Structure 1
Amino acid sequence: MATRCNIELGNDRYVQATEWKDQLRIDIREWETKNGKRMPTKKGISLPLNRWKMLVDSFDYLDQALVENNTYTTHVGGNVYASITTNSVCVDLRKNWLPPNQTEVVPTKKGITLRPMEYTKLKEAVSVIGDFVPELNTVVPCPFSYDHQNQLEFLRCSECNPDGFTE
């Protein structure tokens, strides 16, 4: 696993650009020291570049919800969502799933809740990450790709519509 950059967010949390299984990903994760060695924990989320780009594109809306103390949720791809609850000061980045016989996705334990300073540092890290990951300049978020020009293609996409995906 090759790490291109590692930026501290505070409270033993970091954002990293990492190559994993021939795919470049942005990880937002909490770390711990075990037996004198720094190790990543399960508390966090790993985003492919297209999901990272969707998250970055949603920062203005997340900021507005925080200022107005409103609830806001945005889908960043797959079953990953960024959300804020009413009167919260934290941003939750979490994988969701669709339970059987239900119509709405619910959060899982896979993800991380960013405190205000961590979220601010994450936003500040965007340009630094861009310096280490020039591939981000050519990434087109899935909903804006050429093959999503009509609703049927959008609905068939496993990234945009993971729970209603049909081939």
Structure 2
Amino acid sequence: MNRILSAIGVSAGVLLGSVMLPGLASAEPSALPSDAQVAGAQADLCASKVTSSGYVHIYWNTGCNSQPICSTTGDDSNYGNSQGCAGDDDNRATSLLNNGYSGGLDDVRFYRLADHGGGSVCVGNQQYVSNLANWSFTSGINADNRISSHKWVSSC
């Protein structure tokens, strides 16, 4: 009887294993996704928010998984001065979404310092960054929670 139950358990595990999410570290049928997989699933929210609205959106968390802390159609040379992006938006960005119109100035370059200084990262038109922890400015400094200004540019 134990052999039959073991065989059923193995068969069920194999069957369930074929419908499990790809990339799970465990072959256990009851395994839950890891934190990294959950974060990856949240990243899909950025892709679902891509439109052609003319706005750039800045989010305080990964995966564009909240209301933006700043949404604007123009340049902002200083997130700390409450003109454009609010003063408390300075150095808080963790994900970015460029929903600019195609043509002309449709890419957005984000800068480490106010007045467009200190290294930059660029997000192309209809593109997004789900997690700035994986990005560095041209100066080599990690970009997560370190953006202070941005401007629309013709190309990245």
Rg larger for: 2
Higher fraction of strand = 1
Shared fold by TM > 0.5? no
TM category (shorter chain) comes to: under 0.3
TM-score by length of 1: 0.24
Larger RCO, structures 1/2 (Cα 8 Å, 6+ apart): 2
TM-score by length of 2: 0.25
